A and B are shown apart, each in its own frame.
Chain A
Amino acid sequence: MGRRAKNKQGVPPTLDEFQATKDKKQSKRKLGSEPAAAEPEKKRANTTKNGKTDKKVETKPAKKSKPAKKVQEDEFEEPEDLPDVDYEELSSAKKALFDDSDDNDDDEEEENDEFDVEGEEFFDSDEEGRERPMFSDDEDDEEIENLNAANMEALSRKLDEEAELEAEEAEQELLEMQTNQPRAKVLPSAEEEELMEQGPQDVTSVRTRMIEIVKVLENFKELAEEGTSRNDYMSRLLKDICEYFGYSEFLADKLFNLFSPSEAMEFFEANEIARPITIRTNTLKTRRRDLAQTLVNRGVNLQPIGNWTKVGLQIFDSQVPIGATPEYLAGHYILQAASSFLPVIALDPQENERILDMAAAPGGKTTYISAMMKNTGCVFANDANKARTKSLIANIHRLGCKNTIVCNYDAREFPKVIGGFDRILLDAPCSGTGVIAKDESVKVSRTEKDFIQIPHLQKQLLLSAIDSVDANSATGGIIVYSTCSIAVDENEAVVDYALRKRPNVKLVETGLVIGKEGFTSYRGKHFNPKISLTRRYYPHTYNVDGFYVAKFKKIAPSPHDVSKAGAKEKESLARAEAEEEGIIHGDFAEFDDDADKELLDQAMKRGLRKKGINPNTVKK
């Protein structure tokens, strides 16, 4: 109905205005020259008609007469200085016809040009021609000449009706045009597909097809081919994505489902481009401005990352290796992805606290925590991998962090080792679906099994983290959970699990200015509504690695805190529990065929009864 509203007549001019225009017209008429009355008019009509036909290549010839007529109206009415209603109506009618504002503008422009070229006399001659009733439209004008307060309303109503009629006609034509227009065939036929199976395909053709399919999926109702389902398009698109970007089918499907089709394409494209190199200023040793100055003097082209961090710098290009400058060796900065700033900013460490980083290597986040605490308090940096603690220790020493203890436990051992922390950062080991740009191997190496095992570990780690925090801490009691994955299984599902298992924690605002809200429901699974407080990051939206951050606050000690279970006991406990509850192997119930049969029968009977058939009379 929007168009209808547009067609509404505007405010008519006041009587005074009307009088003024009439006077002007009359004076003009006196000036006008007698000859050359009808001829230029006709010529003009012709030219515009031609112009129209040229532009409207796609429309059917039958339609030509109509727009042309409208153009004529346009021209005749213009000099008359009618109330502006007519212009609007006409243009809207035209819009309805062409449905393309560009075209429309062109038309109008061209007409205007013609007016310019032919000069002002023609206006006058038009007026002359109008004396004789040449066109049906002129009647209106005649009437308008005789306009007065009494018949104004009736007249305007008449104009309104006419315009409406035109608009309707135009609409109808548009509809016809659409239905008649053949829809683009995007999907390959069965034979073509067979051909494609045989050998490598032309990448550009695959790419164009992907783009076309995405376009179709965006506007499925109008662009889809007859007789093809959304599924056909989806499966083809997924195959193309696997082919073009080199994903395993499983992973492509998993990632694709997180986004709308067009956003998914953006995401996959963004994964092909490396993120910018970023460094973090070590505030223990220098300031960002000083560091930027020295690096610029070394021929490094850099710029602050964004206004959400005061310590990050983005490197565009450099004449020296960024990882081997004297400043780097002196520990003035560390190479760190912008996304790894986020969990530490969310953690918000305070001075003189005791903090645990459960998966610390290679130490970017640990040293950031230490720097934020200004080397006070105590930071436990734990990593399960002994080889990786080497780089962790190196970075800690290089950056001059003096308040750290590096240990090499399975993080699930906490709080058996030591508990009662003020804050805990758990940057959990993950599948790495957010950092595909960094590590291409993820594309093919991740299987369904990973997405069962990794979340399983993450859940245990998160529970350990929650149990290791001191709920009564004066300043903290905070747990930050983060992953460099964007899969829901490793993020929202894990957080939801922790919220269910530990009612003594709640989600709180992360305090991050950027980021999208976590999903509260995903593919039929519903999570705790508070999960919208968590934050997601995608490479295509913020140009950081894909990332997820959730911040908990522990509000009461849990009975599990007293548990002295180590990693092994916890693992066996979790396994037993999983078997009982079936959390780990999907949240779906088993199919019970017998129970299903009963339900199916009932539904069938109900259906028959609705149709007016007695179900008892129907044989099975």
Chain B
Amino acid sequence: MRSLTEEETKIVFEKLANYIGRNISFLIDNPTNPHVFRLQKDRVYYVSEQIAKYATSVSRQQLMSLGTCFGKFTKTGKFRLHITALPYLAQYAKFKVWIKQNGEMPFLYGNHVLKAHVGRMSDDIPEHAGVIVYSMSEVPLGFGVSAKSTNEARNLQPTQIVAFRQGDIGEYLREEDTLFT
């Protein structure tokens, strides 16, 4: 376990900025309960400083996880966000899409968000921006990338895609074997 290098931090923050924009500062500046990013076996964890200190007593082979896993670095050096980061993403989300109840299950099965399922969406979403997907009862379901800006999306056919899925909470079941170590 180690803290991120400058380059790694840049990659991670670039990715995060897609979804939470400037709110990223809330993640790093928390004077009452300072949090840090830690890298352990390719995975990036976001954890309170106190817990990170405790975790130093656990050896590298035996440390399986700490705090919240944000995602992992691929072999090619890209950073991929995991669904486990959703609580933080949802908390600081910039652009939001709410989907109706009839769209919940299709989305949780790994499908993209269709126009017909969208109940509501933020007004100022540009094209290809990170969006967080919520159910109508404000339960975060996943995140994705907008296919069209809000204005364009208004004129879409019901069967056309509004947001491309990047992660959804259905992965806890579907990807259990690969998602966690």
Contact = CB atoms under 8 A, between A and B. Distances in A.
B48 A405 contact: no
Interface in A373-406: 378, 380, 386, 389-394, 396-398, 400, 402-406
A390 B84 CA distance: 13
A406 B87 CA distance: 19
B68 A405 contact: no
Interface stretch (B9-17, B59-67, B119-127): B59-67
A329 interface: yes
Interface in A297-351: 323-324, 326-327, 329-332
Nearest to B181: A390
A406 B172 contact: no
Contact of B64 (A324, A402, A403, A406): A406
Contacts of B59: 417
Nearest to B175: A394
A389 B104 contact: no
Interface in A401-427: 402-409, 417-418
* Chain B contact surface mostly: mixed
Interface in B119-167: 135, 137, 139-141
Contacts of B137: 294
Contact of A407 (B62, B170, B180): B62
Contacts of A391: 176
Nearest to B46: A402
A536 interface: no
B51 A403 contact: yes
Given A326-B108, A393-B64, A404-B65, A418 B169 contact: no
Contacts of A456: none
A362 B87 CA distance: 21
Contacts of B69: 393, 397
Contact of A390 (B62, B170, B176): B176
A418 B84 CA distance: 27
Contact of A389 (B51, B68, B169, B181): B181
Contacts of B173: 323-324, 329
B58 interface: yes
Given A390-B180, A394-B172, A404-B67, A378 B50 contact: yes
Given A326-B104, A394-B176, A408 B48 contact: no
Contacts of A402: 47-48, 67-68, 87
Contacts of B108: 326, 329
B181 A418 contact: no
B176 A406 contact: no
A94 interface: no
Nearest to A419: B57
Contacts of B62: 407-409, 417
A332 B138 CA distance: 13
Given A329-B169, A400-B87, A403-B48, A418 B65 contact: no
A354 interface: yes
Contacts of A418: 54, 57-58
Contacts of B6: none
B177 A390 contact: yes
Contacts of A397: 68-69, 84, 172, 180
Nearest to A332: B139
B28 interface: no
B135 A405 contact: no
Interface of A: 294, 323-324, 326-327, 329-332, 354, 378, 380, 386, 389-394, 396-398, 400, 402-409, 417-418
20 contacts: A294-B137, A324-B173, A326-B108, A326-B169, A329-B169, A330-B141, A389-B180, A393-B65, A393-B69, A396-B65, A397-B180, A400-B87, A402-B47, A405-B58, A405-B63, A405-B65, A407-B62, A407-B63, A408-B63, A409-B58
Interface of B: 47-48, 50-51, 54-55, 57-59, 61-69, 84, 87, 104-105, 108, 135, 137, 139-141, 169-170, 172-173, 176-177, 179-181
